[in-house]
Amino acid sequence: MRFLVVFLVFLLSANVEAKDLQIYFSPSSVCENKVVEYIDKSKKRIDVAVYAINNDEIVKALKRAHDRGVKIRILTDRLQASNKNSKVRELYKYGINIRVHSKFKIEHNKFAIYDDEVVSGGSLNWTNPATHKNSENCLFFIENDEALEEYQSRFAYLWRINTKKKSD
């Protein structure tokens, strides 16, 4: 047990990259850049469950992916989507498939699945303050089948229970 605690402290004390796990912290642009990198690398599908979206670079990357024909599904928080700084309406008008939550008190997840190969998670909202002002973390699981399966299952469940009819 003591070894596990020491190991976790070590992992969380600095940016870490391993073959199938990358860990970064903000405030800095590294999390934003990694999210944009994986959006830009995606060829088929991106599934996102995120509390808030207003990060300019991430929004631009999502639009580029949509223009390339990448299937994008975003589930976000209803209250945050209606915030004056939110980019959710802009993405919806652009043609991206967006649902706002209709179950649970808030949609507070912050994860994305890129081409069924990479999963990002952590505390990072896809917002400008999360990148430039807040103390946040972001994790990237690279070709980690166990993490991928768990996040795919959770996203499928959330997408199913938060219907389009209730989102409109």
Annotation marks residue 56 as catalytic? no
Do residues 52 and 78 lie in contact, with contact meaning Cβ atoms separated by under 8 Å? no
Residue 99 pairs in a beta bridge with: 75
Annotation marks residue 110 as catalytic? yes
Catalytic residue among 115, 133, 145, 166: 115
Annotation marks residue 132 as catalytic? no
How far apart, in whole angstroms, are the C-alpha atoms of residue 44 and residue 71?
6
Strands 97-100 and 71-76: parallel
Biggest alpha carbon distance in the chain? 52
Catalytic residue among 20, 60, 108, 116: 108
Using DSSP, state whether 75 is helix, strand or coil. strand
Question: What are the residue numbers of the active site?
Answer: 108, 110, 115
